[in-house]
């Protein structure tokens, strides 16, 4: 396999900002990306992640800040001069061109010799496991195969950086799982850096070396999947990372733990940051709020959905609050259930939820 990423040490985003009139879509984003890293930009719609990707690609100009590839400032270069590969959500394949011609289009624009183009296209087809599909038109392929063609087109130019904008959102659940594994395999094989935009926390956790959580154009936290999953730095990051129960409560410290009131019951939690006595937010994942006989928190079941190993449920507490929890046994609507959570899995933040 001859296709490999062009060598570089580090991509640096220095205070990258982008405004649309009075709207600041990106606000001083700073990030360093090493060669070989897989970075996921994660956040809800409108958080700025796609704007950041388009600024990297050169499809949008910066309002402030700069982008550097080692010692070369690239934010002033045209998109084609940056040499990055891009994979779009809708594949963006030419419908009248064969798979091989689609993959080789960028090389043709570079003026490469036909023999070199053919060799590299065949290598790219082999990498994405479409060696026998080269003469077909995109319309003759499945969605997953078309996405593989788009990836092959992005990597055939041997880019230092591959940019992916929610590339799996048009695929069904089974194909998404398959393509996740393929994207990571190809990333590891060619040695490029990858920046991957997604709103799916599970996708980010399974693919990335580091996750960049964004909100309102600002980077809220950067960390490994394990760090983001176990210890979000802010309540809004916790919410996006699956801590579905966010409860406003008074808080009072007791040794190394902090006490909060959840659903009318006193619950112990773990402070994140400088939590002091006063108003706080407790964050609990549904799978950390367990149904069991010894729980101090009583709820009435309002709904329960079977997810294979357990039931994902919604209950109403005595104070009227809605709580999401998991149960290994079947529970029925109207049933009274007692819940408990390990204090290490109840995260308490001093800040409020916006």
Looking at residue 279, its pLDDT comes to 87
Record the pTM.
Answer: 0.90
Q: Other CB atoms closer than 10 Å to residue 1's CB: what's the count?
A: 9
Q: Other CB atoms closer than 10 Å to residue 123's CB: what's the count?
A: 17
Q: Averaged over 327-339, what is the pLDDT?
A: 92
Q: What is the pLDDT of residues 26-79, one digit of tens each?
A: 999 999 999 999 999 999 999 999 999 999 999 999 999 999 999 999 999 999
Q: Averaged over 123-140, what is the pLDDT?
A: 92
Q: Measured between alpha carbons, how far is 100 from 123 in angstroms, rounded to an integer?
A: 11
Looking at residue 2, its pLDDT comes to 63
Residue carrying structure tokens 């490029």: 192
Q: What is the pLDDT of residues 259-316, one digit of tens each?
A: 999 998 999 999 998 776 788 999 999 999 988 867 889 999 999 999 888 899 999 9
Q: What token pair was written down for 245?
A: 């129960």
Query: HEC states along the chain?
Result: CCCCCCCCCEEEEEEEEEEECCEEEEEEEEEEEECCCEEEEECCCCCCHHHHHHHHHCCCCCCEEEEEECCEECCCCCHHHHCCEEECCCCCCCCCCCHHHHHHHHHHHCCCCHHHHHHHHHHHHHHCCCCCCCCCCHHHCCHHHHHHHHHHHHHCCCCCEEEEECCCCCCCHHHHHHHHHHHHHHHHHHCCEEEEEECCHHHHHHHCCEEEEEECCEEEEEECHHHHHHCCCCHHHHHHCCCCEEEEEEEEEECCEEEEEECCEEEEEEEECCCCCEEEEEEECHHHCEECCCCCEEEEEEEEEECCCCEEEEEEECCCCEEEEEECCCCCCCCEEEEECCHHHCEEECCCCC
pLDDT surpassing 70 at residue 5 = no
Query: Do 262 and 319 contact (CB within 8 A), yes or no?
Result: no
Looking at residue 257, its pLDDT comes to 85
What does the CA dihedral 284, 285, 287, 288 come to, rounded to 10 degrees?
A: -30
Q: What is the pLDDT of residues 247-270, one digit of tens each?
A: 999 998 887 789 999 998 999 999
């Amino acid at each position: 396999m001859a296709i490999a990423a062009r060598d570089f040490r580090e991509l640096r985003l220095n205070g990258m900002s982008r405004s649309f009139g009075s709207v600041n879509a990106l606000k001083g984003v700073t990030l360093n990306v090493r060669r070989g890293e897989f970075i996921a930009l994660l956040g809800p719609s409108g958080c700025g992640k796609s704007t950041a990707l388009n600024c990297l690609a050169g499809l949008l100009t910066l309002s402030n800040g700069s982008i550097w590839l080692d010692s070369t400032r690239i934010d002033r270069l045209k998109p084609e001069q940056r040499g990055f590969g891009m994979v779009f959500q809708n594949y963006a394949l030419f419908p009248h061109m064969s798979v091989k011609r689609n993959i080789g289009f960028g090389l043709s624009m570079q003026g490469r010799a036909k023999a070199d183009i053919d060799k590299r296209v065949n290598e790219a087809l082999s990498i994405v496991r479409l060696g026998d599909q080269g003469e077909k038109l995109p319309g003759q392929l499945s969605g997953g195969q078309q996405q593989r063609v788009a990836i092959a087109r992005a990597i055939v130019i041997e880019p230092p950086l591959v940019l992916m904008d929610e590339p799996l959102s048009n695929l069904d659940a089974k194909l998404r799982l398959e393509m996740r594994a393929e994207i990571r395999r190809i990333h590891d094989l060619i040695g490029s850096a990858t920046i991957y935009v997604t709103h799916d926390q599970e996708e980010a956790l399974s693919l990335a070396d580091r996750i960049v959580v964004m909100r309102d154009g600002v980077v809220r936290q950067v960390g490994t999947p394990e760090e983001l999953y176990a210890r979000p730095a802010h309540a809004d990051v916790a919410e996006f990372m699956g801590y579905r129960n966010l409860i406003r409560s008074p808080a009072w410290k007791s040794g190394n733990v902090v006490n909060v009131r959840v659903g009318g019951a006193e619950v112990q939690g773990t402070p994140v940051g400088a939590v002091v006595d006063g108003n706080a937010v407790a964050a609990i994942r549904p799978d950390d709020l367990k149904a069991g006989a010894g729980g101090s928190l009583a709820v009435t079941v309002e709904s329960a959905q079977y997810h294979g190993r357990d039931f994902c449920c919604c209950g109403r507490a005595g104070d009227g609050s809605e709580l999401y929890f998991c149960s290994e046994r079947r529970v029925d609507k109207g049933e009274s259930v007692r819940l408990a959570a390990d204090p290490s899995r109840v995260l308490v933040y001093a800040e409020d939820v916006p």
